Amino acid sequence: MKFFNYSTVLLAFLCSVAVSAQEPVQVTVTEDTDAPVISKHIYGHFSEHLGRCIYGGLYVGEESMVPNTAGVRNDIIEALKELKIPNLRWPGGCFADTYHWKDGVGPKDERPTMVNRWWGGVTEDNSFGTHDFLNLCETLNAEPYLAANVGSSTVKEFTEYVEYVLHQGGSPMAEWRKENGREEPWDVKYWGVGNEMWGCGGNMTAEHYADVYRQYATFMTDWTNSDGLFRIASGANVDDYHWTEVLMRDVPKHLIEGVALHSYSFVEWNEKGSSIDYSEEQYFSTMKTALKMDTLVTKHSAIMDKYDPNNTIALVVDEWGGWYDVMEGTNPGFLYQQNTMRDAMIAGTSLNIFNNHARRVKMANLAQTVNVLQAVVLTEDEKMLLTPTYHVLKMYNVHQDAKLLPVNFDSPTYNFEGEELPAISISASKTDAGEVNVSMVNIDAHKSHTVEINLGDMDVKDFSGTILSSEDLQDHNTFDQPEKITPKELKKVKYRKGVLEVVLPPFSVLVVTGK
Ligand code: AHR
């Protein structure tokens, strides 16, 4: 039962007056022939041998009672296909620089075991290896992104890996691949040359890694003389601009196609807090780090512009997402966390940032697909659920390979204890078929905002929309209530004389489509 007193009623009334009295936010969306296309690869994913991401998550093995295709859960395959995941990065993360690919090919019962020294010290049987991963990518119609070992490998081991995967036939590695059951090479364009080389990849300096990178990249070939490889250098940790500067300065352009960047969102690195039971103060701090992505991308891009004015090298944000304490009672090395409306806010704002920086950001990978960090899918035995983050990515996939429409507006602020953040984030694009999509996020925990979007003379009139919102910020889907948070059709989309009007409730994500 709820009890009211007059002062609460009065306060509620005053708040509602304050909300409705706010001026609508004026947004202009324009068409610019020079605007970039939003690469579909910005909507990429990342699956590491970490906790229950691969083993006991994606991969349950051929003998499992859970319906599977070559050991990979069918329900996850379906969910990822629906999501239209454009690429998948594997096998790490930190794991990548401990992974020796030859241990993961050939008959499964003859593969050696290994100990996952970064993540929980568990013993793995190498039953999910390169064939399993690349075949899965084919099933998903997603491009593989192989993050290959540099830190504890050799140029020989590395280049033999490229040969094994890409050589047509007649080379030792290609023949071995054929013996192992795969006649044709796979189509793998994206190769990571190590991971976090400033840390778990070898604790290298930028200067040393630039040299190592040059050496490894020199011997990488797609074996067709068509320079078809997309080599991605291990990039900066958050705001280590020196790292990007050195790579851009010291690596010749013909040896590099992408430079990575890793940045996670959290309350405080040493005190991350619960993924479900958090205060508004913790929410505000998380959003502060999430929104910092805009500064990071702007500044790393500016350095890249200096050395690469023609924009031939991509900024690849191949690890991003929210990072909290593990769920109570779970292995601290497994990074298993729940996923609430806070994560939907991180996803929506980060993707808007990447879209708006599409000229330089050509790929991004959410960490991580299943049961780890900001996952899109969680599993428990035979059960599976889709997280709020999944729904945001699905709502946003309309932007994949669409032309960016520049957006201009002044955001109202979300204020908390004397600090402020921009409450609203927006990006927009136009598909080849002429469909206009505008994605919007309001991170304010309390206030609604009305936005009026001026589309000028764009030839669209039929509008529909989807909204993801919930009653409480901490709301999340559980295995008992897997559909507590799902996108709903937007009831009210007003459109008059080129101006679209929508209301963004507190902590909501909306995508409006005009045809
Ligand atoms: O995604 C978890 C870890 O975070 C990755 O293994 C590593 O690259 C990063 O530090």
Per residue in 99-150, pLDDT (tens digit) is 999 999 999 999 999 999 999 999 999 999 999 999 999 999 999 999 999 9
Counted residue by residue, the chain has a size of 515
How far apart, in whole angstroms, are the C-alpha atoms of residue 42 and residue 274? 28
**Where would I find the H helices in 197-322?**
206-218, 241-250, 280-307
The radius of gyration computed from the CA coordinates of the chain, to the nearest angstrom, equals: 23
For atom 8 of ligand 1, which residue has the closest CA? 93
Atom of ligand 1 at shortest range from CA of 196: 8
Secondary structure string (H, E, C) spanning 354-410:
HHHCCCCEEEEEEECCECCCCCCEEEECCEEEECHHHHHHHHHHHHCCCEEECEECC
Residue entry with tokens 């500016």? 302
Q: Which of 45, 46, 47, 48 to mutate to test the pocket of ligand 1 (most atoms within 8 A of CB)?
A: 48
Average pLDDT, the chain: 95
Q: Tell which phi-psi region holds residue 350, choosing left (phi > 0), alpha (psi between -120 and 50) or beta.
A: alpha
For atom 9 of ligand 1, which residue has the closest CA? 93
Contacts 24+ apart (CB under 8 A), 177-185: 177/105, 180/105, 180/106, 180/131, 181/131, 182/131, 185/223
Atom of ligand 1 at shortest range from CA of 118: 6
Atom of ligand 1 at shortest range from CA of 48: 6
The pLDDT of residue 492 is: 79
Contact residues for 423 (Cβ-Cβ < 8 A; gap 6+) = 411, 412, 413, 414, 442, 443, 444, 447, 449
Residue 262 has pLDDT above 50, yes or no: yes
Specify the pTM: 0.94
**Band of residue 7 on the pLDDT scale cut at 50, 70, 90:** very low
Q: Which of 196, 316, 317, 320 to mutate to test the pocket of ligand 1 (most atoms within 8 A of CB)?
A: 196
Å from CA of 342 to ligand 1 middle: 21
The pLDDT of residue 14 is: 43
Å from CA of 238 to ligand 1 middle: 12
Bridge pairing between strands 449-454 and 25-29: parallel
Verify whether ligand 1 is closer than 6 Å to residue 303 (CB atom): no
Structure-model confidence comparison of residues 2 and 425, the more confident one: 425
Residue 4 has pLDDT above 90, yes or no: no
Verify whether ligand 1 is closer than 6 Å to residue 94 (CB atom): yes
What percent helix, strand, coil does the chain show, rounded to 5?
Answer: 30, 25, 45
Verify whether ligand 1 is closer than 6 Å to residue 367 (CB atom): yes
Verify whether ligand 1 is closer than 6 Å to residue 196 (CB atom): yes
Å from CA of 157 to ligand 1 middle: 23
Percent of the chain whose predicted confidence (pLDDT) is above 70: 95
Verify whether ligand 1 is closer than 6 Å to residue 93 (CB atom): yes
Residue 159 contacts residue 229 (beta carbons within 8 Å): no
Å from CA of 202 to ligand 1 middle: 14
Mean pLDDT across the stretch 187-201?
97
**Band of residue 243 on the pLDDT scale cut at 50, 70, 90:** very high
Atom of ligand 1 at shortest range from CA of 199: 10
The pLDDT of residue 16 is: 42
Structure-model confidence comparison of residues 84 and 16, the more confident one: 84
Residue 268 Cα distances to 247, 331, 367, 442, angstroms: 29, 20, 18, 23
Residue 12 has pLDDT above 90, yes or no: no
Whether the bond between 498 and the residue before it is cis, its omega within 30 degrees of 0, is no
The per-residue pLDDT for range 422-472, each reduced to its tens digit, is 999 999 999 999 999 999 999 999 999 999 999 998 989 899 999 999 999
The per-residue pLDDT for range 335-359, each reduced to its tens digit, is 999 999 999 999 999 999 999 999 9
Å from CA of 346 to ligand 1 middle: 18
The per-residue pLDDT for range 484-507, each reduced to its tens digit, is 999 999 987 899 989 999 999 999
Verify whether ligand 1 is closer than 6 Å to residue 195 (CB atom): yes
Phi, psi of 115 (to 5 degrees): -105, 130
The pLDDT of residue 1 is: 29
**Band of residue 21 on the pLDDT scale cut at 50, 70, 90:** low
For atom 7 of ligand 1, which residue has the closest CA? 93
The pLDDT of residue 424 is: 98
Atom of ligand 1 at shortest range from CA of 335: 2
Residue 498 Cα distances to 359, 455, 491, angstroms: 27, 5, 19
The pLDDT of residue 364 is: 98
The pLDDT of residue 481 is: 97
Run of H or E including 439 = strand 436-442
Beta strands, E only, 109-174: 114-115, 123-124, 143-148
Phi, psi of 499 (to 5 degrees): -115, 125
Among 28-37, 305-314, 453-462, name the one with the lowest average pLDDT.
453-462
Verify whether ligand 1 is closer than 6 Å to residue 235 (CB atom): no
The pLDDT of residue 374 is: 98
The pLDDT of residue 461 is: 84
Residue 294 has pLDDT above 60, yes or no: yes
Verify whether ligand 1 is closer than 6 Å to residue 287 (CB atom): no
Phi, psi of 478 (to 5 degrees): -125, 170
Residue 406 has pLDDT above 80, yes or no: yes
Nearest alpha carbon to residue 201 among 96, 89, 65, 304: 96
Verify whether ligand 1 is closer than 6 Å to residue 92 (CB atom): yes
For atom 6 of ligand 1, which residue has the closest CA? 93
Verify whether ligand 1 is closer than 6 Å to residue 142 (CB atom): no
The pLDDT of residue 181 is: 97
The pLDDT of residue 2 is: 35
Catalytic residues: 196, 319
**Band of residue 219 on the pLDDT scale cut at 50, 70, 90:** very high
